[in-house]
Amino acid sequence: MPGRAFLPRQDPLLEPIGTDVPLLSVRGLGIGFDGTPAVADVSFDIHARETVGLVGESGCGKSVTGLAIMGLLPPRAVQVSGSVRLAGQELLGLPDRAMRRVRGRRIGMIFQEPMSALDPVFTIGEQITETLVAHIRLSAAQARERAVAALADVGIAQPRERLDSYPHQLSGGMRQRVMIAIALACEPELLIADEPTTALDVTVQGQILDLLQDCSARLGTALLLITHDLGVVAESCARVLTMYAGQVVETAQVGRALAHPRHPYTSGLLRSLPRLGTPGQRLQSIGGRVPPPWDMPPGCRFAPRCQHVEPRCALPQALEPDSRGAVRCCRHGELALPGAFG
């Protein structure tokens, strides 16, 4: 259907018919900073208990997408449009009071910098219990017991003693464990983890990723793992969303995306990965860089860096859904792109 890309695109992923309402459903999400659109037309679903990776290079709009879902972008400077539904309920435009019952309770979030993400002048016990008390009716003693359990669950030794520690007394890995304990304290339905291991020691990164998977599996929490590292996604997620220049360009099952990427950008990311590439083969980085929001190519946003560019790529590309996921590339049917193993 070569004509599809010409049509003004409205709803690329049709609302699923039937009872299977996704846990999180993002449609046509746009985020502008003082009028400059940084994210345009991002659409994806996350189902209950699903682990989904959101990948893309720096500046692709991954973090602002996560923050927009949480309603954490400053309303005055940032314009958010589109739709974000949690179990069918629209979150965009929800009054702050109602949104506060979603944050921390139904969606938890952890960030890249464990060193600065905890309040330095309160004990970690206080920082866990205040989250619990904000959302759940608990006595101080009950909250304390749950905080002990939460610390034990994230693998912190002597959790009862640790309650009275201050953040500066803990290592980076320990602090990220505490952050996970806080984010999961109220057993949310979805956890958004924005580059949770990037700032950590390589030796600790794997432990934290394992912990995230274990904890979310145990609590039945769906996971949206934001990272620039496809290797991390390969290890911990079932499905992957590739983002480029403020758009989702491909969604697929992780195994499929690794073996047979359908978007040239996903393929490029895979081939620049040392861990997944075939031994002996030279790593190929994608030439060029992500265009800034104020200088977007008018057609396919990846065109300036794409090896497969053709005249029709000069037109805006639509995200086309099918049984295997979705792709935003008019040539995806005719290209056989190399994956991680070939």
> Rule CB under 6 A: which residues touch ligand SF4?
264, 300, 302-303, 306, 308-310, 313, 317, 329-331
- Residues in CB range of 75: below 8 A, 6 or more apart: none
CB of 272 to ligand SF4, least distance (A): 16
Between strands 89-90 and 78-86, the pairing is antiparallel
Between strands 222-227 and 51-55, the pairing is parallel
Per the CB < 8 A criterion, the answer to whether 302 and 248 are in contact is: no
**Which residue in the set 85, 146, 228, 301 belongs to the binding site for ligand ATP (CB under 6 A)?**
228
Q: Which is nearer to ligand ATP, 76 or 282 (CB)?
A: 76
Q: Which residues bind another protein (CB under 8 A)?
A: 70, 72, 96, 100-105, 108-109, 111, 113, 116-122, 130-131, 134-135, 166, 168, 179, 182-183
| Type of residue numbered 236 | S
Q: Which does 59 bind (CB under 5 to 8 A by kind): Mg ion, ligand ATP, another protein, none?
A: ligand ATP
Using rule CB under 6 A, residue 114 touches ligand ATP: no
Using rule CB under 5 A, residue 83 touches Mg ion: no
Using rule CB under 6 A, residue 53 touches ligand ATP: no
- Residues in CB range of 51: below 8 A, 6 or more apart: 213, 216, 222, 223, 225, 236, 237, 238, 239
**DSSP single-letter state for residue 263:** S
Beta-bridge partner residues of 191: 108, 223
CB of 84 to another protein, least distance (A): 15
CB of 233 to another protein, least distance (A): 22
Between strands 222-227 and 325-327, the pairing is unpaired
Which of 288, 221, 244 is closest to 47 using CA atoms? 221
Q: Which is nearer to ligand ATP, 58 or 158 (CB)?
A: 58
CB of 77 to ligand ATP, least distance (A): 7
Q: Which does 60 bind (CB under 5 to 8 A by kind): ligand ATP, another protein, ligand SF4, none?
A: ligand ATP
Which of 56, 29, 43 is closest to 289 using CA atoms? 56
Using rule CB under 6 A, residue 58 touches ligand ATP: yes
What SS3 state is found at 36? strand
Q: Footprint of ligand ATP on this chain (CB under 6 A)?
A: 33, 38, 56, 58-64, 228, 292-293
Q: Footprint of Mg ion on this chain (CB under 5 A)?
A: 63
